[in-house]
Amino acid sequence: MGRPQTGNEVVDAVLGAAHRVRRSMDTGLRASGLSLPTYKLLRELSRGERSMRELSDVLRVTPRTVTDMVDGLESRGQVERRPHPTDRRVTRVHLTEVGAKDLEGIGEQAEAVRDRAIAGLSAAEKATLVSLLDRIAAS
């Protein structure tokens, strides 16, 4: 697959690499019934309950997308919705025991895919790349 053609070689390279890594992760996770976004959602919930809005913000997706992802994960018993203890307008999402167990098994698979994506880089190159991408993100 070629790079996107935005008219800027650097932007095209960044977008192309990100797309390839995302696609590899999605393909690797598909066998487990997850996508990269749902895997990231489960990982976020492994740190503790979150509101639907918090998940939307941290995953950088629309609230509707979070609702769809939570619906799918809830139907598989991996997450459950809970009322907020003091604000009835807010729904919290909780990682279930099933979800935590599934996440543990899927984590190794995801790590292997992730590691293959950057295997061609030395430790110094990885550090440089992170630094450069952080600078791009900050500008």
How many Å apart are CA 55 and CA 34, to the nearest integer?
A: 17
Tokens coding 34: 């997850």
Q: What is the pLDDT of residue 4?
A: 76
pTM for the whole thing?
0.81
* 79-106 confidence digits (pLDDT tens): 999 999 999 999 999 999 999 999 988 8
pLDDT, one tens digit per residue, over 32-84 is 888 889 999 999 999 999 999 999 999 999 999 999 999 999 999 999 999 99
The CATH number for 102's domain is 1.10.10.10
Number of folded domains that form the chain: 1
Task: Determine, yes or no, domain membership for 3.
Answer: no
Tell me the two tokens of residue 3. 């790079």
Q: Does 70 reside within a domain?
A: yes
**Cβ distance 52 to 68 under 8 Å?**
no
Instruction: Report the run of H or E that residue 79 belongs to, with start and end.
Output: strand 79-83
Is pLDDT of 10 > 70?
yes
In this prediction, residue 1 carries a pLDDT of 55
Q: What is the pLDDT of residue 119?
A: 92
Q: Are 86 and 94 in contact (CB under 8 A)?
A: no
* The pLDDT value given to residue 67: 96
Note down the domain range covering 93.
9-138
Strand pairing class (79-83; 50-51): unpaired
Name the helix (H) or strand (E) containing 124.
helix 123-138
